[in-house]
Structure 1
Amino acid sequence: MYADIQVAFSPQSLILLNGILAGMIFGVSMGLRRDDFVRVLRQPHAPAAGLVAQFLLLPAATCLATIAFDVPAELALGMILIASCPGGTFSNIMTWLGRASVPVSVSMTAVSSLAAIVMTPLNFGLYAQLNPATRELLRGISLEPMNILLLVALVLVLPMLLGMAVGKRHPEWATRAEKPMRAVTLLVFLCFVVIAFSRNQQLFMEYADRILLLVALQNAGALLLGDLAGRVIKLPQAERRAVTMEVGIQNSALGLSIIFTFFPEAGGMMLIAGFWSFWHLAAGLCLAFYWSRSAETVHA
């Protein structure tokens, strides 16, 4: 159904995309410190609630929704992949803009990035097999979970460790460079996505209504799960909002990287991840603006 979408990128394009993703992670990680991981052990409630929502509830709920609403196989597989990815790298900025708890957000980003090396391929493989429609699609693809694990390690975990090392060794330079690096890598990534959209503008417009609805509903569900997880354990408002943002901002760049590497002909998956790249940033910024203007906002 989506075979006409041109997603067969050249090896050079794949290297560029992985480089962009690694650069985004590196830039964010320069501000991470050992204390961000230690904080999870000392004050585990908020990060634990977020990680449960991120890696357990969201993939399961997404799988059930794709089955219940009979979502077409390629679109369902894209939704399951996005739900299996860790939190996005710009959730920290949006948490700060929304005047929520930045320490909780940073801690969750750090831990979820490490957990993704196992949880992303595990959840993707598990829930893709549980959905009968996506199971049939996967049967035609030779996919080794270890290959996804290796990709996640190379573009997520390794740049994070390198960024932390550089930040520790050159703290002043890291402080000056962190924000420009985030802005530049985000801009380059968005340009990459725009180019992909422009090559298929007519097709994207044709499918925009149904794809955007799926993406918007999934994103709303992710935000809701994050909020509910925080409410269940009665987190303070600032921490609950940080968890909500972390669960709602997915690392769609990682999703695109996996799609272009292992599913280059799956146009439906690319549509889901491509629309996610724009939608979750727009929704996150709107939510952050609403929080910042809310009379109930708690300054973290």
Structure 2
Amino acid sequence: MYEQLLALDHVRINFSSSGSHVLNIILAFIMFGVALGIKPKAFADTFQQPKALLAGLFSQIILLPALTFLIIILFHKILTPTVAMGMILVAACPGGNISNFMSSLAKAKIELSVTMTAFSTIGALITTPFNFAFWGGMYINYMAKRSADLLQPIVIDPFQMFFTVVILLGIPLVAGLLFTHFFPALSRKITPWMQRFSIFAFLAMIVIAFMGNFDIFLKYIFFIFIIVLVHNFLALGTGFAVGTVFNTTHAERRTLTIETGIQNSGLGLALLLNPKIFPQDLALGGMLIVTAWWGIWHIISGLSIAGYWHRRPLKNKAVKEEA
């Protein structure tokens, strides 16, 4: 398996500057849609009982990257450095833009979902560069002591990553919040459509990024499928476990599960395709394919779980607690 994954590193994506701009515009449009769903009242309601919010942020921002690092170390003999770094990058990204729609479908606590998405996205201006640099650095140091000959030199500029995240996330978020403030009625009308459109927009990002490389993508998808399946299951399980340990309501537990399991891998893809952060001479095919497939798979797994919970009523204890 290691040899097959190693072959992924040589996947090259010949991306023009105009193609990169298209990706950035798509991501900015998606984040604008996320901002439309952020309502001040949701913050106020969640802050009155902040336990679930703090538990969710702990699960997503701290625990998921740490557990990702541990599982990579556990299976380091079959994971190539670029595949491992791709997993770390995904874990460092904020919550996915479609998690609010999935939480609504799952009969979860939508106010908590919106607040977690907002906090993790705004916090990503700092947490994404920090978590990737910290856990990626830990992994590189670990591998350098054991198999330096197999380690690809992956060095990025954290300040450039921070600047890029501010442009990709910060500006669209502010624009969306201002739009909702000045045009509240129009914002309410277009928000549901924006959330649905974001799914297709992300899939368009995948197609644009891998156009001309689908033969290689399909050749090695089985191995990537297993890795992402395990990683995504870890993320979903982490959210559910944290909700259980913190004794949250069942609706909140569903929210924590979805929010931790749905990552904004579109941001990861945009960062990977930015030559100012990841120079084009680096062989990072493993990172690209892991990040891209994560974005597809978490839609499948998230909708599956949300659909399952949609058909199952909340337990009486949770209903009473929420009343």
Q: Which TM-score band (shorter chain)?
A: over 0.9
Q: Which amino acid aligns with 1:47?
A: L
When the two chains are superposed, the root-mean-square deviation of aligned CA atoms in Å is 2.0
Number of positions where the alignment pairs a residue of Structure 1 with one of Structure 2: 300
Aligned to 1:227: 240
Kindly indicate whether the alpha-carbon contact (under 8 Å) linking 1:30 and 1:163 is maintained by their aligned counterparts in 2. yes
Q: 87, 91, 94: which one pairs with 1:86? A: 94
The reply on whether 1:133 has 2:143 as its aligned counterpart is yes
Aligned to 1:209: 222
Kindly indicate whether the alpha-carbon contact (under 8 Å) linking 1:39 and 1:107 is maintained by their aligned counterparts in 2. no
Cα-to-partner distance string for 1:240-284 (whole Å, 9 max, x where unaligned) = 101110000000100101111133441100110111111000000
The reply on whether 1:68 has 2:82 as its aligned counterpart is no
Kindly indicate whether the alpha-carbon contact (under 8 Å) linking 2:251 and 2:314 is maintained by their aligned counterparts in 1. no
The reply on whether 1:244 has 2:257 as its aligned counterpart is yes
Q: 161, 169, 173: which one pairs with 2:174? A: 161
Cα-to-partner distance string for 1:83-123 (whole Å, 9 max, x where unaligned) = 01111010000000011110010010111111111111111
Q: Please report how far the alpha carbon of residue 202 of structure 1 lies from its aligned counterpart in structure 2 after TM superposition.
A: 2.0
Kindly indicate whether the alpha-carbon contact (under 8 Å) linking 2:224 and 2:290 is maintained by their aligned counterparts in 1. yes
Counterparts of 2:155 and 2:71, CA distance in 1: 26
Q: Which amino acid aligns with 2:269?
A: L
Q: Please report how far the alpha carbon of residue 36 of structure 1 lies from its aligned counterpart in structure 2 after TM superposition.
A: 3.2
Counterparts of 1:218 and 1:7, CA distance in 2: 24
Kindly indicate whether the alpha-carbon contact (under 8 Å) linking 1:86 and 1:116 is maintained by their aligned counterparts in 2. yes
Counterparts of 2:45 and 2:124, CA distance in 1: 19
Counterparts of 2:72 and 2:8, CA distance in 1: 18
Could you tell me which runs of 5 or more consecutive residues in structure 1 were left unpaired when the two chains were aligned. none
Counterparts of 1:179 and 1:134, CA distance in 2: 48
Cα-to-partner distance string for 1:126-171 (whole Å, 9 max, x where unaligned) = 1111113389699834421111111111111221121011101101
Aligned to 1:270: 288
Kindly indicate whether the alpha-carbon contact (under 8 Å) linking 1:128 and 1:134 is maintained by their aligned counterparts in 2. no
Aligned to 1:143: 156
Counterparts of 1:73 and 1:110, CA distance in 2: 31
The reply on whether 1:218 has 2:265 as its aligned counterpart is no
Aligned to 2:131: 123
Q: Which amino acid aligns with 2:311?
A: R
Correspondence 1:164-203 to 2 at 5 A? 164-203=177-216
Scaled by the length of structure 1, what TM-score is found? Answer: 0.93
Kindly indicate whether the alpha-carbon contact (under 8 Å) linking 2:143 and 2:151 is maintained by their aligned counterparts in 1. no
Q: Please report how far the alpha carbon of residue 40 of structure 1 lies from its aligned counterpart in structure 2 after TM superposition.
A: 4.3
- Change in Cα spacing, 1:138 to 1:253, as seen in structure 2 (3 Å) is farther
Counterparts of 2:113 and 2:197, CA distance in 1: 21
Counterparts of 1:215 and 1:116, CA distance in 2: 22
Q: 44, 51, 54: which one pairs with 2:57? A: 51
Aligned residues with identical type, % of pairs: 36
Q: Which amino acid aligns with 1:233?
A: F
Kindly indicate whether the alpha-carbon contact (under 8 Å) linking 2:85 and 2:136 is maintained by their aligned counterparts in 1. yes
Aligned to 1:109: 117
Correspondence 1:273-292 to 2 at 5 A? 273-292=291-310
- Say which SS state the counterpart of residue 6 (structure 1) adopts: coil
Which shifted more, 68-77 or 24-33? Answer: 24-33
The reply on whether 1:259 has 2:272 as its aligned counterpart is yes
Counterparts of 1:243 and 1:288, CA distance in 2: 12
Q: Please report how far the alpha carbon of residue 180 of structure 1 lies from its aligned counterpart in structure 2 after TM superposition.
A: 2.4
Counterparts of 2:80 and 2:32, CA distance in 1: 36
Counterparts of 2:93 and 2:123, CA distance in 1: 10
- Say which SS state the counterpart of residue 199 (structure 1) adopts: coil
Kindly indicate whether the alpha-carbon contact (under 8 Å) linking 1:79 and 1:272 is maintained by their aligned counterparts in 2. yes
Scaled by the length of structure 2, what TM-score is found? Answer: 0.87
- Say which SS state the counterpart of residue 95 (structure 2) adopts: coil
Q: 11, 21, 24: which one pairs with 1:5? A: 11
- Change in Cα spacing, 1:12 to 1:185, as seen in structure 2 (3 Å) is farther
Counterparts of 1:218 and 1:24, CA distance in 2: 24
Q: Please report how far the alpha carbon of residue 11 of structure 1 lies from its aligned counterpart in structure 2 after TM superposition.
A: 1.1
Aligned to 2:4: none
Counterparts of 2:261 and 2:144, CA distance in 1: 23
